[in-house]
Structure 1
Amino acid sequence: MTEDAEKLLLVDDDEIFLHVLQRAFKKRGFDVHTANTITEALALCEHCMFSRAVVDLKLAEESGLHLIDKLKQKQADLAIVMLTGYSSISTAVEAIKLGALNYLCKPADADDILHAFEQAQGNANVEISNQPPSVNRLEWEHIQRVLNEHDGNISATARALGMHRRTLQRKLQKRPVKQ
């Protein structure tokens, strides 16, 4: 590792995935630092200036959206890619509004993430689906939007949706429907 290696912050609560990404980025010449929580990530930012960060949306009971905002306050020019296995339109929009450069759905490898960092400009030629989203996908999107409006508070979201808190928790534990 050279002194001038680009510093990369990886934040994910999945230890195995984090380790795999760390090794892959080290092989590509990055000086990689890892964190499992928002607190750990912010502590690393006190001692190190990063040029890039990869932040998971769901960090145990915390939201990576909060971390994007805090990282940008500490290091305004930090390029951030949000990575998630729980994608939704509302979280993608919020991540970009908070300062993320890109939003990427898992599974993703180091090459996918590097490509996401390089895609700073939008693509007006992106393919538009001929089919509307399924009812299940619409439900997932609606739940994510309401959850975001209630700052991730499960109980408040369940009340707003008129559903039992446990039912909402079960729905949130499932992966989102593709279409």
Structure 2
Amino acid sequence: MDRTINGQRVVLSAVFADLQCTGLDDIQERLQVLKTGDPTELADFAGARLLHRLPIPLGSMLFRVGIRPFGRRASALGTFAVSSLGHRSIDGFHAIGGTTITFGLGQVADRPVVRDGAVVVAPILRLNMSFDHRVIDGAEAADVLAEVKAALEGFSENGIHELDREIPAI
């Protein structure tokens, strides 16, 4: 989340655990708390506040040491991340993070597309995905991206999912 702490613009992130068994309303509610809450008070950002108080070399070193054990990375960084620059006029970008899979979302923009043999204008979102080859094979990553694409395309305008299968857990 793009926030300001002590007059400095920063990007803060939070790990949402157990999303596979969390409803969309609960996810949206938690996200809203993180977006609107005071980052100097929210417990989710305590680690970031500590690192920002330290000199940059020391903070960087402590962060790297903290996530060095491979088993610790998932709880500290999450396994799946979404990075969005769509609030600006950015069409697409490649986000490289410490998670197994990172999606980069650009802006939704009207673009010409072909539907039923005719060129029409439709809202299009460019979706980029990077992944850690140490954790997931490229073929599996391609399957994940294809499933996410199908799920996104399966949502109707009123938000009802039209696919009758679930996206496999990562």
**So what's the TM-score if we normalise by structure 2?**
0.25
Between Structure 1 and Structure 2, which shows a larger proportion of helix residues? Answer: 1
Between Structure 1 and Structure 2, which shows a larger proportion of strand residues? Answer: 2
**So what's the TM-score if we normalise by structure 1?**
0.24
Computing the radius of gyration over CA atoms, which structure comes out larger, 1 or 2?
2
Which structure has more RCO (C-alpha within 8 Å, separation ≥ 6)?
1
